[in-house]
Amino acid sequence: MSMRIVIIGNSATAVGAVESIRQYDQAAEVMIISEEPHMIYSRPLLSHYLAGEIERPRLAYRGADFYVKHHVAAVLEDRVTAIEPDAHRVHTASGAEYAYDKLLIATGGQPIVPPTPGQEAEGVFTMTRLLDAERLLTYLRTHTVRRAVVVGGGMIGMKVTDALVKRGLEVTMVELAPLILSAALDQTASQMLSGLLRQAGVEIHTGNSVSEIGARGGHVAEVALKDGRTLPCDTVIFGVGVRPNVELARQAGLRVNRGIVVDEYMRTSAVDVYAAGDVAEAYDLVVDMNRTVAIWPNAYRQGMIAGAHMVGVLRPDKGGVAMNTVEAMGVPAMSIGYGNAPEGEYEVVTELDAPRHVYRRLVVKENRLVGAILVGQIERAGIYTGLIRHRIDISEHRRNLLSGHLSLLSLPDQYRKHVVRGVGIEV
């Protein structure tokens, strides 16, 4: 009898797992259970959809024939409510139960919404799923919405703000930290992006929070800030961030810290149960510890590792590298690895061209690049990421790192062997 693999979740991790399983095993039964009704879509593109820059079909992460092509049984619009690791069984909200031989928990993250008086008013949204974007777009079409308050100045808050400005709204951003994007960028890069947003008319209140949402006729009308000010607005979007969606795992008795703790094969503390993606706490090679890294490529890669191991193929995880990209008024910014590491135990090299909105910050420790922040010019992000991921000794190539002429030929031999392969190619 063929093995049955059940995957809870239907995003990048599930795709990575399914494609990896089918690379090695055509016979295993594969089932995906997802509370969302949609085919697999690309969450990183949601802000572009919200901005009106792309149509909904462009959100597709894989073709409509993905399930058929990979022989996947998809159970959509049903939520797993319990996992029984000992019985190798899951239960869903519809009352169904499914047995498994191997289980992958890919439940991702859930939006953080600080308890706020008035948050039940109509016109309050989060922004992590397609349904969130659809609801907000419907609200914008059916109500007079001129002013929006975005709570949170991290990656999600930035993307929502950028999208709403492109739709012609007046946007105010409220961020608890003293700087926007403080988890990813340093002060210089943060201030550059703040400046670009302000030039576009965005009001930014840092070191502040929304203490109450006021409504008229059941609809959002204003917010009160912690500092006592009141801001009139027509909608409030919480873009504070996400936390790993670990409740199922916790109730099932799995080992959970911030995320579900996994080893290098994405195995949890329960036999035959795996976790990957935003919900998993896996090894981060830059900081040399396990932590959650909520980024799309990481979720796909971990899904591939879990999928392979479930069918008996050992592809250990060598560790992820945190990487985030955001854009403010057409100017891109990236944080790779430990880009905002404090100076002191790390060597930090920077280059700034403020009039052109170009900035680079490279972080080095023991002759190895461990982080980078890039604003404006991000073309060399792949090279920097490779140097970090492969822990390449850069001692003889320091002067080339910030050079405008940086290329593969100016990099260490051992790194070029990682990235250049092919018959007749000498590196």
Mean pLDDT, all residues of the chain: 87
Is pLDDT above 90 for 198?
Answer: yes
Same fold, 4-110+244-310 and 124-240: yes
Tokens for 404, please give them.
Answer: 């405008």
Residue 425: pLDDT band with limits 50, 70, 90: very low
What would the pLDDT profile of 382-409 be if each residue is shown by its tens digit? 888 888 888 788 777 666 666 655 555 4
Tokens for 245, please give them.
Answer: 């969606």
Output 286 or 118, whichever has higher pLDDT: 118
Query: What integer pLDDT is reported at residue 337 of this predicted model?
Result: 85
Across the range 35-50, mean pLDDT stands at: 90
Residue 424: pLDDT band with limits 50, 70, 90: very low
Tokens for 318, please give them.
Answer: 């060598």
Query: What integer pLDDT is reported at residue 315 of this predicted model?
Result: 82
Q: What are phi and psi of 302, to 5 degrees?
A: -65, -35
What would the pLDDT profile of 242-271 be if each residue is shown by its tens digit? 899 999 999 999 999 989 999 889 999 999
Is pLDDT above 90 for 94?
Answer: yes
Query: What integer pLDDT is reported at residue 412 of this predicted model?
Result: 52
| Cα separation, 45 vs 129, whole angstroms | 11
Answer for the pair 82, 90: CB distance below 8 angstroms, yes or no: yes
- Where in the chain are the domains? 4-110+244-310, 124-240, 330-419
Query: What integer pLDDT is reported at residue 403 of this predicted model?
Result: 60
Query: What integer pLDDT is reported at residue 187 of this predicted model?
Result: 93
Rg (CA), the chain: 23
Alpha helix (H) residue ranges in 143-258? 155-166, 187-199, 247-251
Residue 324: pLDDT band with limits 50, 70, 90: confident
The superfamily (CATH) of domain 4-110+244-310 is FAD/NAD(P)-binding domain (3.50.50.60)
Min mean pLDDT across 53-62, 144-153, 204-213, 384-393 is at: 384-393
Tokens for 128, please give them.
Answer: 């992590």
Kindly tell me the burial class for residue 342, based on how many C-beta atoms sit within 10 Å of its own C-beta (0-12, 13-18, 19 or more). exposed
CATH code for the structural domain at 330-419:
3.30.390.30
Roughly what angle, to the nearest 10 degrees, separates helices 12-24 and 296-310?
A: 30
Residue 2: pLDDT band with limits 50, 70, 90: confident
Residue 419: pLDDT band with limits 50, 70, 90: very low
Q: Is 297 left (phi over 0), alpha (psi -120 to 50) or beta?
A: alpha
Domain 124-240: CATH class, spelled out = alpha beta
Tokens for 373, please give them.
Answer: 């922040």
Output 222 or 411, whichever has higher pLDDT: 222
What would the pLDDT profile of 224-246 be if each residue is shown by its tens digit? 999 999 999 999 999 988 899 99
Please, which residues bridge with residue 235 across strands? 148
Query: What integer pLDDT is reported at residue 416 of this predicted model?
Result: 45
Q: What are phi and psi of 306, to 5 degrees?
A: -65, -45
